[in-house]
Each structure stands twice: as structure tokens, then as C-alpha cells.
Structure 1
Amino acid sequence: MSGRDKKPNRRGGSEAYRTPVSRFIVSSHTARREDLPRFEPGDVISKRYHVEREIGAGGMSTVYLAADSGRSGEPVAVKVVTGETNPVRLEAFRNEFRILAHLEHENLIRVSDFGLLPESDGFFYTAEYIEGGDLGEAAADVSEDELVDYIVQVCRALEYVHARGYIHFDVKPTNILVTPEGVVKLMDFGLTALAGRALGKWIRGTPAYTSPEIITGAEVDFRTDLYSLGVTLFEITTGTHPFGTRDLHDLFHAHVVGEPAAPRSIKPGIPEYLEQAILRLLAKNPADRFESANAVIGALSRGRGVKIELQPPASTEGYLGNPPLLGRAGEMETLRAALAKIRDGESIHVNVEGPAGSGRTRLLREVYFEAQLQGYAACLGDAGEEDLFGRLLRDLGAHPGVELPEPEKPDSNPAGGFQAEDTGATLPEAAAGLIAIAEQVPVVVCIDDMQDASAEVRGVLSRLVQLLTASNAPDIFLLTAWRYTEGKEPVEVPKTTRLRLEPLSRDEVGEIAQRMFGSSKPPELFVKRLADATAGIPLAVVESIRMLVASGGIAVIEGKWRFRGGTRPFAIPESLEQFYDSQVGELSGLSHRLAFTLAQMWRPGTMTEITAVHKETPARIAEAFS
């Protein structure tokens, strides 16, 4: 989220830019409601986020810069919406987090945690903190190349969002952040919805940027965002709105039937190709606009006379991203049912089992997010991590419904009053800490990679499972995951529900491929070969597709699958091991040595560490990585 300081409204407080109107669900960029609670510097949100200053505010939410004590003081943006906000807005806030938690692209903001506010019906979520200003500010004094680059990055973000089936519904300058390094971030997904979902009596958006089809109640698709982009580009290039009115009735009428002036008649220095693109984006009929955000990039590329990548190689992985959780609907329903049981006072332990790449970790993460959204005290960890229970207890203790005992002396107890292995206490006390918290609020504990757990960690969890079977058991949903390999099957645990993940069907493999590229259905022969080669393992499917894209073997261009070599067969590795062997085999010299070093570290390495090992300059190492 943006680190820009608040500035006066450049548009004179016009209702068209900020005030809710009848039938409108508007964005959060409205005038601040003075009755909303505020956090001041020095305040602590959820016992973890230490507020440094306010960095943005709207009518329904406020954003703060804070230091995350759970991650060594790392700066984060905390977006807060309070219980005084209407229920529609509260649900929109949850929806925003749900969507952003499943989107991964360099031109989108990353979110991390969702939580409840103490003594309030409000919520907050945390996101990466990024310095910068909005698109209008950034584009005020830039070269043509820089301006085109900003527009292209916005289009890449929109293409990615649209490919996942979503419409943003609130594209405008203040929802587009530009960092000092020139990286564009599309923000504020509070109004975002799946394409095709009926709007009912509501109209989504900010009036000044709303498309004609939304106003008239006609059918809406991804091109509504392109119209909003057109208004945005007209405004940042000319310095004025295309219809120049602040009266809402006149504005809506102009959106539907009015014709904007030619941008070059206002600012003659605007390139002709950019003017043509803006006017096409502002077409009243969606069919007369560009068919996609990628098509806008193509027009800019031709007009500028330079090749512009639709998605640069650095973002290929982000563009493909991880598809939604597919092929695991039954398993997810089982876990949701288990989640609901603790609300009714029933404790349960479920162990998710499957080979590498089968989706265990993804399922745990989905349940963790769902538990946060439902207001449970939730934590997520890896069985092999250092100070596992100390961190889990700290995370659970941050829930507003948990009252922690005072530690015996300041800073002596990082678990907030419950001691785990890093404090010198015995591990059973960690189980006691979990029980003590669960006596106050329902608790969801998600622990991955149990096959790597130490005997001590397994002992704690075994003791916890025994306690869950008691008649007066606390409200705990313990969700663990075990990656099994041949000869290393999960240990039988009494009173535990075992959820074994089976390989995906051919149809499910095809659905993953289709969702990774948007709505383009892959050829049946390709799906068959992909399913056979990957044995229906989800991660193998995803990685194989990424490998084929990176190597130029396949691409989806303008909605059509393209295969290198035309209809001739092309090689799909028989396994992920074969794929990685071939990738590593292509490395040479320093690149190969760097890969070997990082593989041995089992974690990201710093430039200082790598230069010390290889006695090379940072510039030489960066060149080898590229």
C-alpha cells in the first residue's frame, strides 16, 4: 500500500469523485467520517502492529504505516475498517482480502494477514508497504517513454486480473500507485467481483470513472475496466476530466451519450497514437473498445514503434500464477465442515496426506485464511521451523479475544505469557498454552510438513490430540499435513481424521491449464499428454506449464493456444525430476555454482553471503543470475 502523504483533494471535493449516490457501491476514497475511531502513533493494533503514522484515509477505511513486531519490526501497511461501517462495506473489505490473497503479480499489492479489531466489529488486513504517489502525481512530469511504461504496467495488471475472471470496477488514478523506481501497483480491490455475477440493484464504482453500461444497467464484462482506464488516461494526460462536470446527473448523462474532446485539442503535445488509444477506450459501446488490456499494449507498441512485451519474462511466473484451488473441492468442503464444528464446541484433528506437490500446503493456507476471515484465532507454521510453538502462541495471542497473563519480567517471554522451547520451558507447557488460549476463543492450528517434525514436536501434538478427545475438550481445530514418500507413510494417530489427496483427473488437469491462462481452453491432446506426464500431481502440472512457457514451447496469444512447431509433437518431461535435471544441465560456470550454493542453503541467500562464498563482485553475480 502507498506510503504517500495525504494531499488536498485536487478536484475541489466534487461528489462525482467521492460521494456515494443512490444505487452506487463506491470506492473507499471518500471524505473521512469524523466519527470513525483512529489510531495514533504509538498505538498497537492486534498486539502486534505498532502504528507509526497514518498514510491514507477514505470514508470507510484508514491505512497506517506500522512496524510488525512479529517479523522483527518489518514495515507494513495496515488497512482498517471499523464496525461503524455499513455491512455492505464490511463484506466488501473481506472480499478484497480474499481476492488479493489469491493473486500474485508484480503490479499488484501483496497481502498477508486478516484480523479483528479489539472492542469493535471492525477488521484490518496487512499488506506490503510501498513508497510512492498515485498515477496522476507520477505522470505529471515524465517522458513519453515513462508514461507509456506506466500505462503498460497498468494494462498488465488488468490483463492478469481479468484472466482470473475478475472485474476491478474501480480503476482510477488514486487506485494506481507508482513507486520511486517506476513500478506500478494496482490497488483497492474492495469493489472487485467475478465477471458474470449479477449486480442486482447496485452499481459498482466511482461515478467519475464509471462506464456507460454500468449506469444504464446493460451487460457488463471486463471492458468496463477499460472504459475507466480511458477516463484515467484522459485525465492524467490532459489535466482535466473528459466531461468536465461535477453535477452527478450531468456526469452520468455525459458518460452515456456525451462525446469527449480530442485530448490533443487540450494538450497538443500528446502523441497521436496515445490520443487514438484513449478515445477508443472511451467508446460508448464496449464492442468498439479494445477487446482486452493486452490489445491496448499492442496498440501502444505499434504506435511507439517499439516491441513491448505483454508480460515480460520476469513476470511470466506471476502472470501464470497459481490457479485457484482446483480438483480439491471435496477435500476443502470436508475441512470447512471441520472448521464449522469448533464453532459448536467440538474439537477435531485432521491430517492431510499426500506426496510432494499434491496440494497439502495450499489446503492448509486456504483453511488458515478462511479461519481468519471467520474471526477465529488462527496460526500457520511448519513442523521443522525453529521456535515453532513460541511463534504460534504469539500469533494466537494477538487475537483480540485473548487475554494474556503478564510475563514475570519485561521482554522475558516472547510467547506473551506462555512459554515454549526457546524460553527453556518444557514442550508440554506449549500444549498447555494452546489449551489456555482455546478456553477463551476457538483456535485453529495449521502445521505443515509433519514428516519433518522432531520427536519433541510430535510429542506435544500427540498430547494435544489426546486432550481433544476428552469430554471437556477446548475448542481447537488441529490441522496437520504429512508429505509421504515410499517407505515413509504417516504414523497412525488415534482419534484423527485422515484426508488422503488423490491424483487429479484429466478434466481437472485441463481446468488447471485453462485457469492459468484465463478462459482459453487447451487442446484435448495436450491435456492428455500433460496428465500422463505429471501423474495428476497439481504442482507437477503447474510447473510443467511454466516450463513450457519459459522455453517457448507454448503460449496463449489473443485467446488461442500456440505450440512451437505447429502441430508437431513437442517434448513434455516424464517427471518434474527430469525437467529440473534438464534445467540445471543447461547452466554453466558461475550460474551452476550459484545454483548449487543456494540449493545447499535451503533458504534465500543474501548478496553478502554469496559474494563471500564465490569471491565475485555483486555485479558479476547479478549477471550470472540473469
Structure 2
Amino acid sequence: MSEQSQESAGEKLPEKVAGRYQIRRLLGRGGFGAVYEAYDELEERLVALKVIRHDIELGTQTGTGTGSSVALRSQTHPPSSSSRLIDPLRKTSMITRTFSDTRGAADDVTARFKDEFRLLTQLHHPNLAAVYDFGRSEEQDSFYFTQELIHGESLGDFLKGKPRETVVEIFVQLARALDYIHTLGFVHEDIKPSNVLVCPSESPGGAPQAKIIDFGLARMLRRPSGAASDAEEYEVHGTPGFSAPEKVRGEATDSRSDIYSLAATLYTAIRGQKPFPSRDFREALRNQADWRPELAGAVLPSAGPVIAELVGRMLEPDPNKRPQSARSVVLELLRRESAQIHSRTANAEDRREFARVLVEHLPFVDRAGYLDILLTRAVEVLRPEAQQQQRLAPRGNRLLRTVFVEAPEGMGKQRLMAEVRREVQLGDGHFIESNCWGGEGGVGPFPPVVVQLATALGERSSTIRRFHELVKAARERSSDDAVSAQIIEFLISAAAETPFVLHLSDLAHGGESVRTVVDHLVRAIDHNEAKILLCVTTEPHPKLRPLIEGLGREQLAEVWNLRPFATREMYAVLQGILGDAPILDDLTAMLEKLTGGHPLSFRETLRVLIEESILVRDADSWVLRASSVAAEQLHKSLAQRSESRLDSLGVSAWEIASILYLIEAPIEELQLAELSDLRRERFRRTLDRLESEGLIVRSAIVGSN
């Protein structure tokens, strides 16, 4: 996004958005809204703030923020191969209940803006800009979301005068980012020089980092990708000369369309002009048709013969003649330009990096329907009037407004709450969160809660005026006990003005005073029927048992214990990464045998399978190599990692693991305790830690390990 001055925008910039984002400058403006550099007062960081306009409809957009848009009439052309057509919604989580605002149906622009944010929350890659928060700005009467602010140069400016090895490094990074996007089932569809920024290295002698930005409104606000009929008039959203020919012709687009756009982007950055200079899509399409790959060597001599030849093939008008995946582009660069690549051991390190990024944030699978239940509960608690409108089934029992999610580390507590957070924000609700770790004295872990609510309510709120001393104490982290005693009363009053979901994490790490406040808060929420859905996540701990079991017996709270993945859930996670690959059944069976469905162990084992070339991506398909040599290497790698994790857990963990290894069969916990020399409490703690690391599997039915 190019920086624009306030004067060029033709209007005064807002001073603050949503009560927390101080606007510093305008970064870009398009037909659908604007992007600002802003300072987030709550998180104390600079962000890119994207604000959507509320006064437009699809088809009326103008401006330069996201490229050009033009209506064309479809002509008869051979269609692109549809075997690689990627449905952008194919791999998203299936959410049967959403926390939607029923006060009015969202217009198409807003709905697609929300779709863009939901998509971006699924992408986590070092060469993509991270996404943060979604919300509504009452001042502008519009929605917004925030992203990582990239301090970098445009790709063209950065590559001026740079040596060949720098060009290769950036090329590899961008191809790897596209490979990641395509692997998860998405297509960017708007790759161009202004959507690539390059940041200098953070360490001396390190490599620069390229970032793809703006997944954009143009891509999310276009009609679903697909071939237009012969007589149909269709719109092309993109930029002439960078959009692939099949896209301009109204044919189906797929991952190879991004490959074309990447080549045009690199060509422009290296040479300083577009490969097909044109004023509009029609002229670009005519010029693109005459391209021959061998021309690249003559016009891109500074890039070297390998890059020139590869870019030439990527610019083929026929997608079937281009490299068929971004993965193949990465591997070709690593093989043919290995001498130019900065401190990278070609394929081995590339596999490790690819595996690390791919499995770090696995597709979400809603075990036992917990997400669906929480979103339904949020509607019932925060918007009881919507219960009738959505025809939710009436509850025969009392409405429980507190849920404890108790599970060892690595079982997915935080991921579950992250999904709830996103859906509540997209539904124009408030999600407040804080961590109980070490919260003692004063208002304990609640200062962030008070500050977040104060920001959401605004200075004109009667609650803020009434509890101004508490808000001041929270912002200053003071320890005034008299003020701290008002916390629960403040939360109940705030909920009367603005209902909210409150997530308190890591309760096991909070002290006795924190547990006391939580106990009183649960009772106050229930007694006042407050519009607060309280979600408390924690690891199991003996000191929590009296609190959690007591509230459960009194029917003041619900207690959930997250279990490992079931077979069908492991299959769904793998399908979210691999698509409908033929190997899904075999791979699911392998991972179930090796991990027992423990999420942390599942993720680590999947990573090893990719690192050791047992699970291999070939173009757009996946292959599982189950040779004896590969299996031996797998077990060796897993054993090394298990030993390393056991070392970190200490002697007690080694003792229990050794007994289980020698027995080679499930065993009752009482028998296991007798075989070990550990005291009862130490034995239980060690089992919990082994389970949290995915090194043992407990059976809830028979109580064995």
C-alpha cells in the first residue's frame, strides 16, 4: 500500500477509532475503505488499521487501493484446468452456530469484509502480515480490523541495485508464502508490486524479509471464482498486466494464476517496468498472448539465466505450461540457485521450515461441538432477545453463565477460545480476556479486564463515571484494596451497558486471592443474571478441585475436560491440510497409532513425517512413503524428540516412562503407582505432565495408561 498524505485524501483524518486506535497517518485508500497507521493504546503497539466504508454496495467501488475493476463480456476460450481450482471456503472450519448480530442483516460488503478477516486468522507465515483484532467503530459507523504494521520498502525500490543472491532470496520467500497459502486452500489473486513489502534484516548479516500484504477487498468482494458463460458479462478485479490471462478471460482461476502474478511482479521489480505495459485489461490480454518464455533472458539479464528462464515459464499465457505449483518453484530455485542462497542447506532445511510453518497452526476441529455450544451459550446469555428470533430451543434447566475448560497443556484450550474470540468479534460482540498467571495484590489479574471494558464503554458511560477510581487504579496497576473490592460490582454494571464474554486463562497459576475473586464473580454473575459469559481455562491442579467441584455441585458452572482427537477429527484436520488426498485413511491410522490423538503429539509427529520426507508434497498432491528405511528414520526421530522432552520433565518422568516401555501394554494407574517409587502426589503430577506432553495416553474408561 502506498503512503498518501492527508491533503491528497481530501478529508480530515479521524483522531481515534474505537476508543483505542490513535490515527498516525493514511497508508492507502480504495473504493471500499482506507488503511491507516495507528497506535493501539491497549496493546501498546503500532498497527495497520483497515476501515471499511459503510455507504457503498458491490459494483460501485472506485479508487486505486486494490487495483482496477472493469466489466468484460465472456468469449469462447479453452477453459483452464479445473482440477486445481481451489474453493476459498473449502478448508475453513464448519461453524454451525455463529454469534451474529440480529439487529440487521449485514450487507454484502460487510459480510465479505468479515470473510476476509476470518480467512486471515487462518494464515500464519513469516512472509505474511499477521492479523489481530476485528471490531466496530461507532464514530465512523463502520467495521475495521487490525494487522501487523510492516516497516519496509516496496519490492521494486528494495531490489534496485541489489545483487543476484538478494533477488533469489526474495524470490524463494515469496514462492514459499504462496506455497503455504495454496496448501491451505486459498488463492491470493492480487499479487503485484505494491502488495509486497520488504523489511531489512533484524540481525547483522541476516536475510531481508519479504511480506505479502492485502489479501484484499478486491479478492474477497468479487464473484466466486469460476468460468463465465459465453454470453455472461463479468467483472475483473485486479491490475492489468498482473492478473493472469485466464482471470481476465473470465475463466476459472487457481493457484497457477498466483504463479503468473508473482512472475509479473518480479519482472516489474527487477526491470522497472511491467512485462506487458497496458492501459486496461483488454490491451494487457492482447500483449500477453504474444509472450514467449525465451524472451525473458534478453530482458532480465541482471537476474541471471536461472531466474530469467523460470520467470519466462511462469508468464506462459497457458496455465498448463507454467510451473504447476509454488512448491515446484521453490524446489527449482533451491536446486538451481543453491550457490546464491544465504545460509540454507537446500532441500533439508526447506522441508524443516515448510513443516514447522504448516503444522504450527493446524486447521481447527470442534471436538465434541464445544465451539458450537459456546457460541450458542453466548447468544443466550448476551442476547436473550435473539433467542426467539433465532428460534433457539428453550432450556429446561437454569442457564449456566460460567464454563471451566480444564485440560493439560497442549490439548487445545487456547485455540478453542481463540475461535470463540474471533466469532464474537465478527458478530459485533465484546470479548474481554486476561491471564491469571501470578495475579496477586491489588486487582490481581483484572486490570486488563477493567481497562478493556473502560475502552469499550467510553468516557460517557455511567459505569465509567461511577467507578472512575477503579479504572484509574487498573490503568496505574495500583494496589488499593478498597478500590479492588469494587471489581465484581464494576463488571456487573458494565455488562448491563455492554454484554461481553470474559475469558480468564491459566487459573492454576493464580494465587488463592485470585481463586477467591473468581468464586465470588461466578456467584455474582449467576445471582444477578448478568449478561456475562465467563470462560475459565486452566490446567488440572489439586488446589482447584474444591473450587471447580463446588461450583459444579451447586449448578453455578459447567466443567469441560478436553479429550484427545477422535479418529474422525484427526481425519478432518488432515483433510484441512492435504485436501481430499488418497492417503488420508492410511495417514490417519498411522498418526492415531503413534499419538493416540493427543493434539500436541499429533502436531509434532506430523511435522516429523514431513521433515523426514515420509509425507511428501508433489505439486498439488501428497504421497506417503512407508518404506522400511523411512519407517526406521521416523521412529529414530520420534525417539530422539521424546527423550529430549523426558529430559526436560526430569527423573520422575523417566521412571514412569521406563516402566511403561518395559511393560509394552496398558496398565492400571494404581498398579503403575505401585511399580514406581514416587509418592502419590508426585506420581499424579508426573502423570499429568507426561499426558500434557503427549508422551502417554490415559483412558478415561478404564483408567489405564
Bin of the TM-score, shorter chain as denominator length: 0.7 to 0.9
Q: Distance in 2 between matches of 1:313 and 1:513?
A: 18
> Residues 203 and 475 from structure 1, CA distance in 2 versus in 1: closer, same or farther, beyond 3 angstroms?
farther
> Residues 370 and 402 from structure 1, CA distance in 2 versus in 1: closer, same or farther, beyond 3 angstroms?
farther
Is residue 2:593 matched to residue 1:532?
yes
Q: Which residue of 2 aligns with 1:373?
A: 426
Residues 578-607 of structure 1: CA deviation (Å, up to 9, x unaligned)? 55126899xxxxxxxxxxxxxxxxxxxxxx
Is residue 2:522 matched to residue 1:482?
no
Instruction: Please identify which structure carries the higher helix content.
Output: 2
Is the 1:95–1:190 contact (alpha carbons within 8 Å) kept by the matching residues of 2? no
Is the 1:63–1:78 contact (alpha carbons within 8 Å) kept by the matching residues of 2? yes
> Residues 424 and 444 from structure 1, CA distance in 2 versus in 1: closer, same or farther, beyond 3 angstroms?
same
Name which of structure 1's ranges 399-408 and 212-221 shifts more when overlaid on structure 2.
Answer: 399-408
Q: Which has the larger radius of gyration?
A: 2
Secondary structure of the equivalent of 2:248?
Answer: helix
TM superposition shift of 1:32 = 7.9
Is residue 2:122 matched to residue 1:82?
no
Is the 1:115–1:372 contact (alpha carbons within 8 Å) kept by the matching residues of 2? yes
Q: Which residue of 2 aligns with 1:68?
A: 40
Is residue 2:309 matched to residue 1:276?
yes
CA RMSD after TM alignment: 3.8
Q: Distance in 1 between matches of 2:165 and 2:4?
A: 28
Is the 1:401–1:441 contact (alpha carbons within 8 Å) kept by the matching residues of 2? no
Q: Distance in 1 between matches of 2:471 and 2:526?
A: 33
Q: Which residue of 1 aligns with 2:77?
A: none
> Residues 168 and 247 from structure 1, CA distance in 2 versus in 1: closer, same or farther, beyond 3 angstroms?
closer
Residues 50-89 of structure 1: CA deviation (Å, up to 9, x unaligned)? 3333334334333333333323x43333233333354444
Which of 165, 168, 187 is 2:213 aligned to?
187
Identity %: 26
Question: Runs of 5+ in structure 2 lacking a partner?
Answer: 58-106, 202-207, 229-233, 340-344, 388-398, 651-705
Structure number with the bigger relative contact order (C-alpha 8 A, sep ≥ 6) is 2
Which of 338, 344, 360 is 1:321 aligned to?
360
Secondary structure of the equivalent of 1:502?
Answer: coil
Is residue 2:624 matched to residue 1:561?
yes
Amino acid in structure 2 at the alignment position of 1:102: Q
1:22-421 matches, within 5 Å, as 34=10, 38-39=13-14, 43-71=15-43, 73-86=44-57, 87-181=107-201, 182-191=208-217, 198=225, 203-255=236-288, 257-259=289-291, 262-304=295-337, 306=339, 308-309=346-347, 311=350, 313=352, 316-328=355-367, 330-341=369-380, 342-345=382-385, 348-386=401-439, 387-399=444-456, 403-404=460-461, 405-406=464-465, 413=472, 415=474
Is residue 2:557 matched to residue 1:496?
yes
Secondary structure of the equivalent of 1:434?
Answer: helix
Is the 1:378–1:395 contact (alpha carbons within 8 Å) kept by the matching residues of 2? no
TM superposition shift of 1:568 = 4.0
TM superposition shift of 1:127 = 2.5
TM superposition shift of 1:333 = 1.3
Is the 1:514–1:520 contact (alpha carbons within 8 Å) kept by the matching residues of 2? yes
Secondary structure of the equivalent of 1:224?
Answer: helix
Residues 267-298 of structure 1: CA deviation (Å, up to 9, x unaligned)? 54442322221222122222211111121123
Residues 102-154 of structure 1: CA deviation (Å, up to 9, x unaligned)? 22211111122222212233122222233111112212221111111111110
Residues 350-402 of structure 1: CA deviation (Å, up to 9, x unaligned)? 23233332211111111112111211121122232534211012112222677
Name which of structure 1's ranges 407-416 and 85-94 shifts more when overlaid on structure 2.
Answer: 407-416
Q: Which residue of 2 aligns with 1:21?
A: none
Is the 1:390–1:422 contact (alpha carbons within 8 Å) kept by the matching residues of 2? no
TM superposition shift of 1:531 = 1.7
Which of 501, 509, 514 is 1:452 aligned to?
509
TM superposition shift of 1:555 = 4.4
TM-score using structure 1 length: 0.77
TM-score using structure 2 length: 0.69
TM superposition shift of 1:179 = 0.6
Q: Distance in 2 between matches of 1:32 and 1:258?
A: 39
Is the 2:132–2:145 contact (alpha carbons within 8 Å) kept by the matching residues of 1? yes
Q: Which residue of 2 aligns with 1:508?
A: 569
TM superposition shift of 1:413 = 0.5
Which of 469, 473, 489 is 2:529 aligned to?
473
TM superposition shift of 1:175 = 0.7
TM superposition shift of 1:45 = 2.8
Residues 223-279 of structure 1: CA deviation (Å, up to 9, x unaligned)? 111111122122222322222110343234545x44368234445444232222122
Q: Distance in 1 between matches of 2:646 and 2:170?
A: 38
Is the 2:113–2:220 contact (alpha carbons within 8 Å) kept by the matching residues of 1? no
TM superposition shift of 1:483 = 2.6
Q: Which residue of 1 aligns with 2:646?
A: 581
Secondary structure of the equivalent of 2:403?
Answer: strand
Which of 469, 492, 496 is 1:439 aligned to?
496
Q: Distance in 1 between matches of 2:538 and 2:438?
A: 15
Q: Distance in 1 between matches of 2:450 and 2:420?
A: 18
> Residues 526 and 301 from structure 1, CA distance in 2 versus in 1: closer, same or farther, beyond 3 angstroms?
closer
Secondary structure of the equivalent of 1:63?
Answer: strand
Is the 1:520–1:561 contact (alpha carbons within 8 Å) kept by the matching residues of 2? no
> Residues 584 and 360 from structure 1, CA distance in 2 versus in 1: closer, same or farther, beyond 3 angstroms?
closer
TM superposition shift of 1:332 = 1.5
Is the 1:55–1:63 contact (alpha carbons within 8 Å) kept by the matching residues of 2? yes
